[in-house]
Structure 1
Amino acid sequence: MSSTLQILQQYWKHAAFRPLQEEIIQSVLQGKDCIALLPTGGGKSVCYQIPGIILPGVSLVISPLIALMKDQVDALNQKGIAAVAIHSGMQKEEVKQVLLDATESAYQFIYCSPERLESPLFNEFLSHIPFSLLIIDEAHCISQWGYDFRPSYCRIAETKRKLRAIPTIAVTASATPLVLTDIQLQLGLHEPRVFKQSFIRPNISYSCFGSESKINKILEILQKVPGSSIVYCNSRKQCKKIAEAILLQGISADFYHAGLNQLLREQKQQSWIQNKTRVMVCTNAFGMGIDKPDVRTVIHHDIPECLENYYQEAGRAGRDEKRAYAILLWQQKDLNELEQNGEKKFPPIRIIKEVYQAIADFLQIAVGNGEGLYYDFDFNHFVTHFKLDPLLVVNVLRILEQEGHIQFNEQIFLPTQVNFCTDNETLDQFEIMYPSLEPLIKALLRSYAGIFHNRISVYEQTLARICRTDLANITMQLKQLHTHGIIEYLPKKETPQIHFLLNRAPAQFLNINQDHYLERKKLHTQRMNTIIQYATLNKSCRSNFIGQYFGDNSSIVCGVCDICLENKRTAIADTHFSQIESLLKSNASKGINTEILMGEAKNISPKKIWTILNFLQAENKITITEEKRIFWSK
């Protein structure tokens, strides 16, 4: 047995590798640069985590989302693999301690955002940490021709040049041929090996329905197909509304979006992962980094703006390789709105400058100021005050990010910060005077090294567990210690923030690369037309359409999408279909053996009978046991 397979079995409990995983791992271990294009659920993390375990030194993982980093770090630590994430919620002293520990190879994996690579502190330690592997997750973010361009990714190449010659692996689930070429160019990869898995997911049945009542269609699907489900919506308000409608039908459901506080999001997510909640109705803030294999349906209440987003979200179904369903619902007004939103997505440059001016006025930033500073940004207050369209503002913020002026994060999470601002003698006297606060003081001093001299991130849940009390009491006691001057207490923040990367410019002189901007607008229009074409397909296989979009030119049809199933049905005489259905229904209570069925339908060839049975099974209308007994499940 190979050492890589032993590691897979020891840490991941998988009996064998998925397609291409072992080839990618071996290529990395041989010191070669790689690009791995594996569909959602294809096991991308294993491709770099196993080499990271085997190679000496530290593996540096660049990832765009704090939530994604946290999930992966937690999963590695639970396996007994030393991993840590450096994120925006950490104070300088905490980051410095992590980097100091890393110089002694205390970690096998360091996860960080691309923005962190540019900090003076990180660069100070860069040459002292024994890095052995560079991993770029969500690598499509590096291409401005892609659907999720992040300018901070373009600066990864500079960090790569500063590192000694170590292998680089770039991984993504959704890159077109154009974006794939750009990834190689932007990262400066040396003769990389490119691994591309087929985009066909044979166990997923894709369907699209033009539906007058979407909620009724969702309920119909959930009643037909048992098991865990995700319902994606474009608005937070819609999430709650649909979750309540599903609950009214006696189906366990909850809602999730970025506007909820972090603790509540984690609770909802865990309830769904543990199957205490069957249906999660959510925005696209949900799902990234969640490895739940038994999702049976992913339903899109609203049409996404591009096929990349849809494929990634739909791909969260059926990771256990059992039959699963990805359903997209649409109405003509949705398609019209999608086309209209293209103008909001890429507004005239004049409008961008007007919104930029409004942001500067709202935050009271004078011309020539603001660089490097963070500003709390009350989005709802802003759009109400300036009477602006919310979607337009979100898109302008994104454009300003892509042009390198700001960073905007609506899911920012800055943990509670505490440091003691008294001397030991005063603290001892305080504990005698206020014995009820002594357990919390002791918990802070014992749990957080350096807290007496530095501002440190603390976590109320951990403190509540140590002190054997509840969260509300810990918060109240922290406030009391602050009021008495014992600690400096900065409560956690979960408000959206804008980080100005450059000093505020006069709006009329705001620098925007017009040629690149117009090219991105053109590519967005093409992507929008593609998702509309996908939703309204009526003749060709949906899986095949997706595959060809991503450069997989295999002409194999899936046989299980709604169009393939309809083509099969029309190829069979209706009388034959009705005859088989009638025989199955008449034996619904005890089932019928396939040989007996064929004996009773001698006028139909066995090949046609199996075609009908396969169709009915794909439609979830029958169950065929290992003993070849058929049960009608309707």
Structure 2
Amino acid sequence: MADIHHILANYWGHSTFRPLQQEIIESVLKQQDTLALLPTGGGKSICFQVPAMAQDGICIVVSPLIALMQDQVDQLTQRGIPAVAIFSGMSNRQIDILLDNCIYGAIKFLYISPERLKTDLFIARAKQMQINLLVIDEAHCISQWGYDFRPAYLEIINFKQLIPESTPCIALTASANQEVQQDILDKLQLKNPKVFQKSFQRANLSYSCLWVEDKEPQLFNMLKKVGGSSIIYARNRRKTQEIAAYLQKQGMKADFYHAGLSPDQRTSRQKAWIANQIQCIVATNAFGMGIDKSDVRLVVHVDLPDSLEAYYQEAGRAGRDEQKAYAVAMVEENDLIELQKNWEKSFPSAEVLQKTYQAMSNFLQIAAGSGELSTYDFDWTEMARRFQLPTSETFYALKTLESEGLFLMSDAFQNPSKIKIQVNATELYDFQIRNEKFESFLKFLLRQFGGNLYTQFVSISEASLSIQLKVPVEEIERYLNLLAKFEIIEYEKQNGLPKLTLLTPRANIDNLPITWSEYIQKKDRSKSKIDAVESYVRDQKTCRTRKISAYFGEQLFINCGVCDICVQRKKEQNGRAFPEGMEVEQKLILNYLKNGPMTLEDLTDCLRPLTRTEAAKVIQYCLEAGQISYTSADTIALVSS
């Protein structure tokens, strides 16, 4: 077995491990099942890459996102470590060759999605591999109580049971409360697991909530003031484009990123941002997961996420180099109303679910009791039109039925074709006068979708338009492409027709295979996450870091000193005398720290016979007075004069 310190120095250029990394690595090398909870930027990948390198054989890494897989494969390859990934879109021949290399070649890391683990080809080939470690990255995805549940993660246990019992399994995530942690251990059936958890406190990261209605000017001023690389998170694709366009008009190097872009576009924008050719990337929430960029100075949420887990993970992409960084939530009252509405949409009533399931069955012409494991082309927008169902309600109902295990839908389901008019009404009228062949088509679109076409992207179905206009689908697509070429509309074409695979025989709507008590419980848990987000942004008294840490079950006795609440408290404290009766302890603290930084625990011990609460009060006052500061999550030092 190779020396782990030598591997770290040889491939990563580091002489020492970060806190907890070595303990986690040693646990894995002892063939111990392990759960590691390290904050974003805490060096999770080292925890499985080093022990895998120290042993013969191949490490299989289960990962939820292509971007995450590709980034880690690129990082390993640049270090001279043979790593590969299986992506959707690869031909069977390409996958066959790649798996051969994993069996007979010198490949050390194979990255794969949880869905791919179930395929017969992969299972057959994996049995021939010498697997030294099974890694479950972003392990919170396995928990229905987490914020990013991925049903295929639940079936990882089936694959785990196919590999030798002696092969250890390590699950890693940045954010999981006690309930989610237990769910991870249970669902993966980890045996006598060692659990490692680093503090959720980030000494260099300042959290703030900014209540403001006119967000874009404030955002621009913030980006100018902080400088450096930044990420702006928005809830939907349209908003990412609008904010990026605004920032570009102000002269800032900004661009947008979302799943609707082509793979080449996503890759090029991600690389440009990593290389600092773009200062600011405006993105939906998947951006940044697992991407190795340590110098992000600012992360801003212009829309609130659905949970504190998601917020903590996304905000934590700032300051991974341990230099000063900022995480800001921009909030207005309407954001909280919108959060509530989205939660309500996400859990349709039993009546809506039954009506949608009935429409789907009729649309696909599936007879009662049949259809199990059959796959159908499924244009759900056409189904909604034909059965006169509300589009938004139908979308959420289908997603819910899928999450309840009734069927599976391809990725194309979430990404229907979209259009938006790029010109104003006068310019559109002028174009119609000069181009009569488009006039009736454009008038039809306006009648069908109304004025929303001028202000936002509207989902369309080319097949539905074809039926209504009685022209071939190819003709509809040609018209849309030409209008896009003339810059009259923006046209985002769907990538392939959605497919639906029925997982159970078609059920009677009065007896859908849904456990309604569990469905209600899931809804209530989701509401509690929404409530936690609202509590976080409304609270103007509690240290933000302590608030977040408490949510994850970690009790901090000392405020962070750098969040907006703590900064305001310092301003109020400035000039006030030290509390009477604590001057001696204040001097003791300053004298102890003259000899160098101390951990919070050691400093508290030095203040005995004060109780922990009394010691925390004195230390807190010194922090607020600006005499001392955190240098890491649990280390304090004198402030340089």
Q: Tell me the TM-score range normalised by the shorter chain.
A: 0.7 to 0.9
Work out whether residues 143 and 183 of structure 2, in 8 Å CA contact, stay in contact via their aligned partners in 1.
yes
Extract unaligned runs of 5+ from structure 2: 415-492, 578-619, 632-638
What SS class does the counterpart of residue 162 from structure 1 fall into? coil
Question: Could you tell me how far 1:504 is from its partner in structure 2?
Answer: 6.2
Matches within 5 A, 1:41-120: 41-120=41-120
C-alpha separation in 1, matches of 2:79 and 2:366: 47
Q: In the alignment, which residue of structure 2 is the partner of 1:514?
A: 516
Who is 1:560 aligned against? 562
Alpha-carbon offset, residue 610 of structure 1: 9.4
Residue aligning to 1:10: 10
Q: Which residue of 1 aligns with 2:431?
A: none
Secondary structure class of the residue paired with 2:115: helix
Q: What code does the residue aligned with 1:529 have?
A: D
2:2 corresponds to 1:26: no
| CA pair 96-146 structure 1, distance change in 2 beyond 3 A | same
Shift of 1:80: 1.9
Of the three residues 531, 534, 555, the one matched with 1:532 is 534
Q: Alpha-carbon deviation of 1:101?
A: 2.9
- The residue aligned with 1:588 is none
The 8 Å contact of residues 344 and 392 in structure 1, kept in 2 or not, is answered as: yes
Q: Contact 1:412–1:495 (CA<8 Å) still a contact in 2?
A: no
Kindly state the Cα deviation for residue 614 of structure 1 after the two structures are TM-superposed.
Answer: 7.8
Q: Paired residue for 2:168? A: 167
1:258·1:411 contact (CA, 8 Å) conserved in 2? no
With over 3 angstroms needed to count, the CA separation of the structure-2 counterparts of 1:612 and 1:410, relative to structure 1, is farther
Residue 602 of structure 2: aligned partner: none
CA contact (8 A) 1:565 1:615 kept: no
SS in structure 2 at match of 1:128: coil
Counterpart residue number, 1:260? 261
Task: Provide the C-alpha distance between the structure 2 equivalents of 1:568 and 1:186, rounded to a whole number of angstroms.
Answer: 46
1:541 paired residue number: 543
Aligned pair 1:401/2:416, yes or no? Answer: no
Contact 1:371–1:502 (Cα < 8 Å) also in 2 = yes
Cα 1:496/1:83, change in 2 over 3 Å: farther
Match of 1:288 in 2: 289
Kindly report which structure 2 residues correspond to 1:279-428, keeping only aligned pairs within 5 A, or say none. Answer: 279-360=280-361, 368-369=370-371, 371=373, 373=375, 375=377, 392-410=393-411
How many angstroms does 1:574 deviate by? Answer: 9.1
Q: Do the aligned partners of residues 609 and 401 (structure 1) sit closer, same or farther apart at CA in structure 2, a change above 3 Å counting?
A: closer
Counterpart of 1:417 in structure 2 is: none
Contact map agreement 1:376 1:495 (CA 8 A) in 2? no
Counterparts in 2 of 1:66 and 1:223: CA distance versus 1, 3 Å: closer
Task: Return closer, same or farther for 1:540/1:529 CA change in 2, 3 Å cut-off.
Answer: same
Check conservation: 1:105, 1:129, Cα contact below 8 A: no
- Out of 139-148 and 231-240, give the one that drifted further: 139-148
Question: Do 1:378 and 1:495's aligned partners in 2 also have CA atoms closer than 8 Å?
Answer: no
CA RMSD, Structure 1 to Structure 2 (Å): 3.1
Distance 1:556 1:387, change over 3 A: farther
CA distance in 1 between counterparts of 2:387 and 2:292 reads 41
Tell me which amino acid in the other structure corresponds to 1:52: A
Cα distance, 1:282–1:95 mapped onto 2, change above 3 Å: same
Counterpart Cα distance in 1 of 2:9 and 2:365:
57
- Quickly say closer, same or farther: Cα 1:199–1:398, change in 2 above 3 A: farther
- Give SS of 2:546's match: helix
1:554 positional shift: 2.3
1:528 CA drift (Å): 0.5
- Cα displacement string for residues 81-122 of structure 1 (whole angstroms, at most 9, x for unaligned residues): 122222332333333333333232532112212222222222
Q: Comparing 119-128 with 244-253, which one deviates more in the overlay?
A: 119-128
Corresponding residue pairs, total: 511
Cα separation, 2, equivalents of 1:390 and 1:77: 45
Instruction: Verify the 8 A CA contact 1:543 1:557 in the aligned structure 2.
Output: yes
Q: How does 1:210-221 map to 2 (within 5 A)?
A: 210-221=211-222
CA deviations over 1:202-236 (Å, ceiling 9, x no partner):
11100001112111221121121111111111121
TM-fit CA distance, 1:34:
0.4
121 and 180 in structure 1: CA distance in 2 versus 1, 3 angstrom threshold: same
- CA gap of 1:398–1:43, structure 2 versus 1, over 3 A, is farther
Shift of the alpha carbon at 1:25?
0.7
CA distance in 2, matches of 1:13, 1:372: 52
User: Which string of whole-angstrom CA distances, capped at 9 and with x for unpartnered residues, describes residues 308-356 of structure 1?
Assistant: 1111111111111111110001111111221222211111122123333
- CA change 1:196–1:394 in 2 (3 A) is farther
Correspondence list, 1:111-150, <5 A: 111-150=111-150
- The aligned amino acid for 1:156 is I
Partner of 1:550: 552
The one-character-per-residue Cα deviations of 1:243-284 (angstroms, maximum 9, x if unpaired) are 111122221111111111111111111111111111111111
What is the one-letter code of the residue matched to 1:395? Y
**Deviation for aligned residue 1:376:** 6.5
Which amino acid counterpart does residue 142 of structure 2 have in structure 1? Answer: I
Distance 1:550 1:311, change over 3 A: same
1:489-546 superposed Cα distances (whole Å, 9 cap, x missing partner) = xxx9834744415256246143212122111111101000000000111101001111
Contact 1:227 1:295 survives alignment (8 Å):
yes
C-alpha deviation, 1:547, in angstroms: 0.8
1: CA distance, partners of 2:621 / 2:189: 54
How far apart in 2 are the matches of 1:176 and 1:122?
A: 33
Whether contact under 8 Å (1:64, 1:113) holds in the other structure is: yes
State the secondary structure of the residue aligned to 1:299: strand
Shift in Å at residue 285 of structure 1? 3.0
- Per-residue displacement from partner, 1:548-581 (whole Å, max 9, x unpaired)? 1112122221100000111111112499xxxxxx
Contact 1:87–1:116 (CA under 8 A) maintained in structure 2: no
Q: Which residue of 2 is the match for residue 272 of structure 1?
A: 273
1:188 maps to which residue?
A: 189
Q: After TM superposition, give the deviation of residue 13 of structure 1 in Å.
A: 2.5
User: Are the counterparts in 2 of residues 377 and 495 from structure 1 also a CA contact under 8 Å?
Assistant: no
Identity across the alignment (%): 43
| Structure 2 CA distance for aligned equivalents of residues 65 and 243 of structure 1 | 24
Q: Return the offset for 1:295.
A: 0.7
Cα distance, 1:283–1:359 mapped onto 2, change above 3 Å: farther
Return the alpha-carbon distance in structure 1 between the equivalents of residues 144 and 55 of structure 2.
33
The answer on whether the counterparts of 1:404 and 1:501 sit within 8 Å (CA) in structure 2 is no
Aligned match of 1:235? 236
Higher mean C-alpha deviation, range 398-407 or range 293-302: 398-407
Which residue in 2 is equivalent to 1:487? none
**CA–CA separation in structure 1 for the residues paired with 2:265 and 2:523:** 37
> 1:411-450: per-residue Cα shift (whole Å, max 9, x none)?
799xxxxxxxxxxxxxxxxxxxxxxxxxxxxxxxxxxxxx
Shift of 1:374: 6.6
Q: Give secondary structure in 2 for the equivalent of 1:326.
A: strand
109-118 vs 535-544, which moves further: 109-118
1:141-195 CA distance string (max 9 Å, x none):
2122222222211111122122112111011111110110111111111111000
